[in-house]
Amino acid sequence: MFRNIYIFGLGMMGGSLAHAIKRGKNCKKVYAYDTCRQSLLFAKKNLLIDDYDDKQFTLLKKSDLIIICAPVKKYDEIFKVIDKNISRNAIVSDIGSIKTNITTSLDNCSVSLRRSFIGSHPLTGSEKYGIRNYQTNLYNNQYVLISPFNKNNGLLKEITNFWKKIGCNCITIKPRQHDSLLALTSHLPHITSFVLVKNILSKCPQGEIDSYTGGGFRDFARLANSDSEMWEGIISLNKSNIINSIDEFTNEIKNFKKIVKNGKSTEIKKYIEKIHKKLNS
């Protein structure tokens, strides 16, 4: 068991993680830092954390597990802070949606930090953001993709045990494979929602969107309402994989368009039933 766990970034995900750690009694103390002081005050008042850091980072120096829960574009500056204040034998991980960019960030860090880092990505989340939207069961029975950046099996074992104690299932995956796969399974659905919702909103009469949409639109709108800063970072840093996924999706849309254009109802039905079969197999 870790003594002190440090959450670097107290948004919805970080706050929910702090709650899961406290509830599971997985360490003695949970500490945190965020650039927003109000988030820190809220977290301490609601017993999500035991204490929070200032820019002296004295609590960071006392922590033996540090988890970055901030937008991926901020990793460079966060790694610099951690590198200056990390305690000996501490482990560093994250919950970010992309991994290969971390290699570049770590190249500018000390050897000890590079040896201490192992990537994590819980496959869970919400379109809501900010500490006040933390969820009590966000991590329950969710999958976590773990991406080692070195061959330290001790790191892999410890971070896997940490996530399992929170109630997660773990899969090990290489950083490049992670980013290629997530571009298709996570990033593309969000991008599709941004584009589709924008198009629908431009076509519907002003202020009357609810009169013309149903549950399908609400599902897309939920994704499209996600944090813009977080998604700008993800899209920018995983650009090549995302472009490949968009190209593949565009080709499939063109394929379906041909089926619709041919006007054969049996072909449309067959297309959809193939999907049903794969989903339910």
pLDDT tens digits, residue range 151-175? 888 999 999 999 999 999 999 999 9
Q: What is the pLDDT of residues 252-277, one digit of tens each?
A: 999 999 999 987 788 999 999 999 99
- How does DSSP classify residue 30? E
Whole-structure pTM value: 0.91
As a whole number of angstroms, the distance between CA 237 and CA 196 comes to 22
In this prediction, residues 106-123 reach a mean pLDDT of 94
Q: β-strands 143-148, 51-52: how paired?
A: unpaired
pLDDT at 1 over 80: no
Taking CA atoms, 14 is separated from 49, 125, 138, 191, 238, in Å, by 11, 11, 11, 23, 22
In this prediction, residues 201-214 reach a mean pLDDT of 75
Higher pLDDT, 180 or 215: 180
190 and 207 Cβ atoms separated by less than 8 Å: no
Residue 125 contacts by C-beta under 8 Å, 6 or more apart in sequence?
12, 13, 138
In this prediction, residues 26-34 reach a mean pLDDT of 94
Helix, strand and coil percent figures for the chain, each rounded to 5: 60, 15, 30
Domains, the chain, ranges and CATH? 4-173 (3.40.50.720), 178-279 (1.10.3660.10)
Query: pLDDT at position 263, please?
Result: 79
Question: Taking all residues of the chain, what is their mean pLDDT, rounded to a whole number?
Answer: 92
Q: What is the pLDDT of residues 65-84, one digit of tens each?
A: 999 999 999 999 999 999 99
